[in-house]
Chain A
Amino acid sequence: MLAVACTGVASPTGWASPVIVGDVLLASHRDEIHSYNLDDFTLNWTFPADADDIDTVALYGTPAVADGVVFVPTHDKTLYAIDIETGRQVWQPFVAGGELIGGALVSGGVVYFGSNDGNVYALDTETGREVWQPFATGAEVQSTPAISGGTLYVTSLDGSLYALDAATGDELWSFEADGGLPSSPVVDDAAGLIYIGGFDSRLRAIDVDTHDELWSVKAGNWFWTAPLVHNGVVYAGALDGKVYAIKRETGDPVWREPFETDSFIRAAPVVAGGKLIVADRGGHVYGIDPDTGLDASNGALALSDDVFTDPLTILGSGGTENVLIVTRGGDLEQIDPEALITVGRPISLGE
């Protein structure tokens, strides 16, 4: 009975995206974050180390880095501050009231992050002390905050986008959608817009000045990933397995029809080698023509496992752009986007 009962129910495995800081690559898998030398992919350190006696459960939020400190949000409700050189903790970990699913954001000496307890926290990066009282939303905050011009933007599963004063945590204004907002807000300063995706299956553009919706696009399922803005076009994958391209001024579709993948899309798209690179849940990587929405790579590249993490662009050995993707199995794959092939052997994270 127990065997049947547990079938199909996922345990937390994490999907924190990799980050590059100088010549260091920070890549997470399950409950660990690893530091690699970017030149030869040698392992510098792993957190938590065996001696740390810490169970982070899983890492979902992309870590933030500032002044040589890595801020790691974890499923065990804790934000860790780690020295990027040694992998040791800089200050006492901060424990929130709920799991930390979204990523951390650092700006002006403050690290901002949301929690499943519905709060948004702001901590001093040097001391780990709270800068202002946590801002309470109506439900879980599972996204990474965004900041622009002293305003902090936060989405919550209560269905609201909150604009907060980054210095005080006071609410400036809010926008209410028709469903929870799991995707991180993306601020488009050039257009004066904020893009949010949600459980109402809509991707919305909110005007920063009027706080009203400029346009919205409906998909066949939830928008979970943060959209990408490139050359005046907003690209977003949805859980209906389709990629949408929308003109940011009007909300009109750029392509004749959305690009269809094999399974749903949790990972955010990136542009590399002149192509829009999208990875679906099943581990298929697509190279799409950003202008036409057609397959520009003669089929998808099949990776060894599912993909939930956002890809990352890096400069390859020949000075060309490559894409890094961490699979659910913990393989770090380097992909040449032009040929849409893997480069070299995958690195098994933590080994």
Chain B
Amino acid sequence: MGILELIGWLWTNGLVVPMTNLLVILATLSFGSFGIAIILFTIFMRGITWPLTRQQLQASRAMQSTQPQIQEIQKKYKDPKRRSEETMKVYKEAGFSPLGCIWPMLIQFPIWIALFQSIRFTLGSTPENMLNLSQRLYPVDFIRTAPPLENHFLWMDMGQPDTTFIMAVLVGASTWVQQRMTTPASASADPQQQSMNQTMLFMMPLMFAFFTLQFPSGLALYWVATNVIGVVLQYFYMGADFDWRRIITISPAAAPDPQQAAGKQQQIPAEAGPENGDGGEAEPGEERPEEPEPKRRRRRRRGRRRR
């Protein structure tokens, strides 16, 4: 067996087949409703991936708390290498690994793809798929006799794309909310970085909304459910620290005041001095960091106090 065949075998028998059987079991327990089965499946998957999610939430909170220092670093250091080193140093001291945010997102993709295949198999959108399903179901009467499953849930056919655009809007909106909650509050001092963040902010929800129009609505239901669960978890984890107004604002929030933040956040390490460690003098040709706009800062602080 070659490596590709082995990967294919593991993919099918380690992921798609168990997932297919789990969906069939959940659908049977849900009186045949495939839509409810997908929601239960989402809760189950969220339970399995909870250690990773918790890691992400911790990372997200740590990232949030280090933002004032990161802002200060971005203003102080012009050399990208040095800036990166100092940033990593702050992250390390805060006990935060940027990879911690990525894993839960990465693990979603294989689940998403395997779920796509499982939905196609389970709902038997073609007679050939029903034949294939027969070869993938575990030899248990309870499971084997379950098909055909009820593929209609609310207004949707779980095996077909939702043509009403409702799911596309829900997927886009929930992805937006989830994304706004997990990305740091402050804007990057680097215009290029800021522009990239801005693009990503729109790209992800739009991309997933577009996928929704192409893929079975069962997949969209999974995506909405997993986002909603993510938002709820995020809320309980971040609690009052989260500024909910950010969800309805389009641009990334303004950079917080490093001096204000310094009062309650940890300081940049003493050895992390200015560029080249030469007493704060910038390189010739480099601009000194701009002072944050005081008026805007004050308004933001007042707003927070009122809350």
Contact = CB atoms under 8 A, between A and B. Distances in A.
B129 A9 contact: yes
Contacts of A281: 131
12 contacts: A9-B120, A10-B126, A10-B128, A12-B127, A12-B128, A15-B127, A157-B148, A221-B134, A222-B144, A224-B131, A239-B134, A239-B135
A4 interface: yes
B144 A264 contact: no
A221 B145 CA distance: 10
A201 interface: yes
A52 to B, nearest CB: 23
A185 interface: no
B273 interface: no
A182 B8 CA distance: 30
Interface in B87-114: 109, 113
B105 to A, nearest CB: 13
Interface of B: 8, 12, 16, 109, 113, 116-117, 120-121, 126-132, 134-135, 139, 141, 144-145, 147-148
Interface in A249-266: 264, 266
A157 to B, nearest CB: 5
A284 B126 CA distance: 23
Contact of B127 (A142, A178, A179, A180): A142
Contacts of B132: 8, 10
Given A60-B127, A220-B139, A201 B148 contact: no
A108 B134 CA distance: 37
Contacts of A179: 144-145, 147
A160 to B, nearest CB: 13
Contacts of A32: none
A231 interface: no
Given A4-B113, A10-B132, 14 more contacts: A7-B8, A9-B129, A10-B128, A10-B129, A12-B127, A12-B128, A179-B145, A180-B147, A182-B130, A199-B145, A199-B147, A200-B144, A200-B145, A222-B134
Residue from B16, B127, B139 with most neighbouring chain A CB atoms (10 Å): B127
A139 interface: yes
Nearest to B215: A5
Contacts of A4: 113
B135 A264 contact: yes
B117 A9 contact: yes
Contact of B128 (A1, A5, A13, A220): A13
Given A179-B144, A200-B141, A266-B131, A11 B117 contact: no
Residue from B117, B130, B139, B141 with most neighbouring chain A CB atoms (10 Å): B130
Contacts of A224: 131, 134
How big is the A interface, by class?
A: 20 to 34
Contacts of B117: 5, 7-9
B126 A11 contact: yes
A264 B148 contact: no
Interface of A: 1, 4-5, 7-13, 15, 58, 60, 101, 139-140, 142, 157, 178-180, 182, 199-201, 220-222, 224, 239, 264, 266, 281, 308
Contacts of B135: 221, 239, 264
Nearest to A222: B134
A5 B216 CA distance: 12
A5 B116 contact: yes
- What are the nearest 10 A-B pairs in CB distance? A10-B128, A179-B145, A12-B126, A9-B120, A239-B134, A5-B116, A5-B113, A157-B148, A200-B145, A222-B134
Contacts of A157: 147-148
A326 to B, nearest CB: 15
A298 B147 CA distance: 38
A1 B127 contact: no
A8 B113 CA distance: 12
Given A8-B132, A9-B129, A139 B148 contact: yes
Nearest to A218: B141
A201 B137 CA distance: 12
Nearest to B137: A221
A8 B118 CA distance: 10
A308 B130 CA distance: 13
A180 B137 CA distance: 15
B223 to A, nearest CB: 14
B148 A140 contact: yes
A221 B144 contact: yes
Contacts of A9: 117, 120-121, 129
A349 B275 CA distance: 76
B52 to A, nearest CB: 20
Contacts of B144: 179, 199-201, 221-222
A140 B147 CA distance: 11
A94 to B, nearest CB: 21
A303 B148 CA distance: 32
Nearest to A10: B128
A280 B147 CA distance: 23
Residue from A7, A9, A12, A180 with most neighbouring chain B CB atoms (10 Å): A9
A224 B186 CA distance: 61
A201 B144 CA distance: 8
A78 B130 CA distance: 21
A1 B113 contact: yes
A201 B134 CA distance: 10
